[in-house]
């Protein structure tokens, strides 16, 4: 076995050497006279190749035998583990909701007025926007099984609907919120019609194109959207008519507090939290209604649905419309929070992030999506902060530059570890005697 391990390590080392010599070993630098010079970085090359060889040895001598032993072992302690998992599953959601409710005050208490802005705004609000988008897309992708790669279009519709209507007509945030949702739902139906007959990859491509169309319209319809320059000075939400500013009528003055931007942050945090909880609540309810079961049945087998009298056209359209509506809510909140929007905020990258959240979380699972949003968005934000990495990789290492790379690695690892997402099992919507989770391997992924 040791011989085999050594051989594997040698092969891996050879491959790594071949790849890393041009990539790492040689470096083109410009010297003072502006001439290109070839520098060598042999020590770094040696370290990296040694890491690969060492990793291969560790894998074949330690990890592989351990995995084999574990695979052979009869799962005898599974009952206790399953009970623990069930208890965790029951207690985690209420605990998580409780935590997010007290989170702003916790942040205030721990980091003070100045420090908490970052935690509430950059982390709290940002993550909750994506949680909400994830919940919304989860209806389309996770429940109905229709892969929508252009979800950001509805986010954009919601954002521009709020920005334009608020600036032109001066409607308040809470009047425009439902309106933006309805407009986004309308566009969801518009998208739904042409894609009703499409399945799988074709559906994904058309939805992707739809997202790009919306973005290009936003860029090119300059008289209305102001093109690339975007829309600035979008009215901010007020606390029942009291604005959050430093004036005498401002929130701080009215309540006799010292002015600080943190109050607006906390207020916005609770708005988006309420919206996200509303989305979760409605989705949970819908799953137990015939419409939700029809969505899931559609994901499992469309032909069987039709044989049971389910109109697949309206079922798909409602999935698109309701998913889009939540995207629209999130969009109008985004516009109100930023005060400035431009087409740059609604690129394909956003759609991809939201799809990744849904897939990573486990399609159809609310908790999974929420956890995945925290990991994805919080994780990328957190990587900005990690000075620890500087100690590991040296002074010049800037974690913010590598965060997408590190993040990509993390995603690959998670998908290898849990191919069907963090929560792969499906909770049945109704039961006779006992609620048994359905194993992920039985649940279909839909044809989208």
Partner 1 sequence: MAVAPPLLRVEHLTMRFGGLVAVGDLGFTARRGEITALIGPNGAGKTTVFNCITGFYKPTEGRIAVVHGEAGLWDELEALTRRGDRHLTLANGGLFLLERMPDHLVSRQAKVARTFQNIRLFSGMTVLENLLVAQHAPLMLASGFSLLGVLGVASYRRAERAAIDKAKHWLALTGLLDRADEPAGALPYGAQRRLEIARAMCTDPVLLCLDEPAAGLNPRESAALNELILTIRDRHATSVLLIEHDMSVVMEISDHVVVLDYGVKIADGTPEEVRNDQKVIAAYLGVADDEVEAVEAEVGL
Check binding of 439 to partner 1 (CB under 8 A).
Answer: yes
Q: In the range 298-317, which residues lie near partner 1 by CB under 8 A?
A: 299-301, 303-312
Least distance between partner 1 and beta carbon 201 (Å): 22
d(CA 252, CA 259): 5
Contact 322, 105 (CB under 8 A): no
Q: Does 28 bind partner 1 (CB under 8 A)?
A: no
| Contact present, 369 and 134 (Cβ < 8 Å) | yes
Looking at the Cβ atoms of 301 and 385, the one nearer to partner 1 is 301
278 binds partner 1 (CB under 8 A): no
Residue 296 interacts with partner 1 (CB under 8 A): yes or no: yes
Nearer to partner 1, 118 or 199 (CB): 199
Fill in the DSSP letter of residue 345. Answer: G
* Contact indicator for 184, 327 with CB cutoff of 8 Å: yes
- State which of residues 291, 356, 386, 414 lies at the interface with partner 1 (CB under 8 A): 291
29 burial type by CB count under 10 A (0-12 exposed, 13-18 middle, 19+ buried): exposed
Helix, strand, coil % in the chain, rounded to nearest 5: 75, 5, 25
Q: Is 193 among the residues that bind partner 1 (CB under 8 A)?
A: no
Tell me if 98 contacts partner 1 by CB under 8 A: no
Of 234 and 443, nearer to partner 1 (C-beta) is 443
* Min CB(434)–partner 1 separation in Å: 5
Which residues lie below 8 Å from residue 407, measured CB to CB, with a gap of 6+? 376, 379, 380, 383
| Region class of 28: left (phi > 0), else alpha (psi between -120 and 50), else beta | beta
Nearest approach, Cβ of residue 296 and partner 1 (Å) = 6
Query: Which string of DSSP letters, residue by residue, matches 8-34?
Result: HHHHHHHHHHHHHIIIIIEEEEE-TTS
For partner 1, what does the binding mask look like between residues 316 and 335, x meaning CB under 8 A?
--x-----------------
Of 350, 280, 123, the C-alpha closest to 115 is 123
Instruction: List, in order, residues 6 or more apart from 411 with CB less than 8 Å away.
Output: 356, 360
Kindly state whether residue 277 participates in binding partner 1, applying the rule CB under 8 A.
no
First to last CA, the chain: 45
Query: Rg of the Cα trace of the chain?
Result: 26
Residue 436 lies near partner 1 (rule: CB under 8 A) = yes
Contacting partner 1 (CB under 8 A), which of 282, 346, 355, 399? 282
36/430 with CB nearer partner 1: 430
Query: Is 37 among the residues that bind partner 1 (CB under 8 A)?
Result: no
Beta carbon of residue 157, minimum distance to partner 1 (angstroms, whole number): 23
430 lines the binding site for partner 1 (CB under 8 A):
yes
Q: Does 197 bind partner 1 (CB under 8 A)?
A: no
Instruction: Determine the 3-state secondary structure of 430 from DSSP.
Output: coil
Q: Does 395 bind partner 1 (CB under 8 A)?
A: no
Query: What minimum distance in Å lies between the beta carbon of 307 and partner 1?
Result: 5
Q: Are 299 and 312 in contact (CB under 8 A)?
A: no
Q: Does 152 bind partner 1 (CB under 8 A)?
A: no
Q: Which is nearer to partner 1, 213 or 308 (CB)?
A: 308
The DSSP symbol for 344 reads G
HSE-CB of 426 using CA atoms within 13 angstroms: 22
Which stretch in 23-31, 133-141, 406-414, 430-438 sits in contact with partner 1 by CB under 8 A? 430-438
In the complex with partner 1, the residue whose CB is nearer, 4 or 436, is 436
Assess 245 for contact with partner 1 (CB under 8 A). Answer: no
**Residues contributing to the site for partner 1 (CB under 8 A):** 282, 285-286, 289-291, 293-294, 296-297, 299-301, 303-312, 318, 426, 428-436, 438-439, 442-444
């Amino acid at each position: 076995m040791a011989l085999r391990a050594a051989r594997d390590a040698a092969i891996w080392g050879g491959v790594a050497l071949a790849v890393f010599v041009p990539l790492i070993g040689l470096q083109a630098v410009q010297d003072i006279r502006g001439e290109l010079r070839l520098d060598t970085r042999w020590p770094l090359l040696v370290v990296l190749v040694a890491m690969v060889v060492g990793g291969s040895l560790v894998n074949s001598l330690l990890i592989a035998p351990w995995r084999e032993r574990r695979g052979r072992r009869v799962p005898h302690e599974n009952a206790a583990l399953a009970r623990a998992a069930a208890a965790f599953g029951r207690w985690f959601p209420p605990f998580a909701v409780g935590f997010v409710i007290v989170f702003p005050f916790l942040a205030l208490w721990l980091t003070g007025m100045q420090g908490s802005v970052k935690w509430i705004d950059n982390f709290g609000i940002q993550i909750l926007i994506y949680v909400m988008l994830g919940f919304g897309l989860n209806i389309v992708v996770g429940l109905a099984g229709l892969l929508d790669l252009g979800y950001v279009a509805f986010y954009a519709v919601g954002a521009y609907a709020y920005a334009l209507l608020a600036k032109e007509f001066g409607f308040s945030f809470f009047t425009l919120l439902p309106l933006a949702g309805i407009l986004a739902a309308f566009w969801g139906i518009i998208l739904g019609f042409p894609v009703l007959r499409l399945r799988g990859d074709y559906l994904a491509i058309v939805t992707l194109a739809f997202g790009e169309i919306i973005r290009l319209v936003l860029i090119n319809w300059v008289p209305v959207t102001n093109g690339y320059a975007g829309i600035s000075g979008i009215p901010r939400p007020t606390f029942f008519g009291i604005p959050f500013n430093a004036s005498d009528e401002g929130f701080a003055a009215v309540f006799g507090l010292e002015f600080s931007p943190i109050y607006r942050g906390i207020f916005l945090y609770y708005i988006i939290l309420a919206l996200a909880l509303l989305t979760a609540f409605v989705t949970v309810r819908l799953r137990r209604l015939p419409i939700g079961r029809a969505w899931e049945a559609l994901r499992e087998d469309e032909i069987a649905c039709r044989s049971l009298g389910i109109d697949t056209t309206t079922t798909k359209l409602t999935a698109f419309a309701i998913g889009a509506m939540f995207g629209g809510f999130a969009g109008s909140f985004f516009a109100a929070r930023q005060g400035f929007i431009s087409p740059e905020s609604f690129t394909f990258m956003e759609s991809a992030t939201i799809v990744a959240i849904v897939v990573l979380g486990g399609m159809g699972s609310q908790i999974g999506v929420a956890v995945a949003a925290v990991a994805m968005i919080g994780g990328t934000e957190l990587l900005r902060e990690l000075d620890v990495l500087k100690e590991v990789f040296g002074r010049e290492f800037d974690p913010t530059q590598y965060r997408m790379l590190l993040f990509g690695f993390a995603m690959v690892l998670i998908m290898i570890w849990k191919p069907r997402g963090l929560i792969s099992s499906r909770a049945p919507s109704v039961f006779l005697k006992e609620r048994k989770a359905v194993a992920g391997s039985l649940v279909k992924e839909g044809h989208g």
